[in-house]
Amino acid sequence: MDKDEKNLEKVAMLAGEILLTSGAEIFRVEETIQYILSSFGKEAEAMVFSTGIFIHIKGEAIQAKTMVKRVSERTTNLHRIYQVNMVSRQLCNGELDLLQANEQLEHIRKVHQYSNLKKEVSYISVALFFCVLLKGSFLECISAGVVGGILGMVILLSNRLRLNSFCINVLGAFTIGITALIISNYIVPQISSDLLIISAIMPLLPGVTFTTAVRDILNGDYSSGVARMVEAVVTALAVAVGVGTGIALFARIL
């Protein structure tokens, strides 16, 4: 196998891996892989599940090749999906060669799009403005922003400790419940703890995952769609357990 063929296979697999880990729909991942390979004259089949990628490149019996890639980390990053789609289009149109495409894909995979400070600001902003949307008072909106900021710090710390997503969601939701009740009972008694909790849990809710699961099911990718649906349900359950535990603990101890 010559170097160009190896680079082509590497680019196709890398593009699919980034798309899948970024929360892209299954049909998008499969089509992107097939477009990249077919644009270089390769007849291939791609089968993608929520936890892995299978690519079979057809040819003579001795030249046929099957590649497998296990994907264990999944998140939601629409910007990365857009970037990979652009690289794929430019590669298929001849605007990029394989080495340039591989370099850009490696950069997309490794680069940190937002700093920890920007992530912290986003947690504060989401909680604060959802409270505004729910017609909270000035003090309630500020308090929701404080709860969101504490949630952001807990999640960043949990990621550094390499906790799994279920534990991160439980711990984050638990922090929201305890913090909201402390603020509403001891610091600013006239505000609603329910409003603080509802506003602050918005970054934890699996809305995009649920929507992607529905799209996969409608596209006929039932196994991946059901898997993502279960993932969304488990995430929602983790949030409910965390908030419920925080409220129960506060009622018993404080």
Phi and psi for 133 in degrees, rounded to 5? -60, -35
Mean pLDDT by 10 residues, the chain (254 residues): 78 94 91 91 87 83 77 86 94 91 92 87 95 94 96 94 92 96 91 94 91 90 89 94 94 82
Q: Residue 213 is encoded by which pair of tokens? A: 């699961």
pLDDT for residue 76: 85
Domain boundary assignment for the chain: 3-110, 116-253
Q: Residue 130 is encoded by which pair of tokens? A: 């959802």
CB atoms inside a 10 Å sphere around CB 137? 15
CB atoms inside a 10 Å sphere around CB 227? 17
Contact 11/102 with Cβ under 8 angstroms? Answer: yes
Helix residue spans in 51-137 (DSSP H): 78-92, 98-110, 116-133
CA geometry: angle at 177 spanning 227 and 207, to 5°? 30
| CA 59/CA 69 separation, integer angstroms | 21
CA 206 to chain centre: 9
pLDDT for residue 42: 86
pLDDT for residue 241: 96
pLDDT for residue 71: 87
pLDDT for residue 51: 85
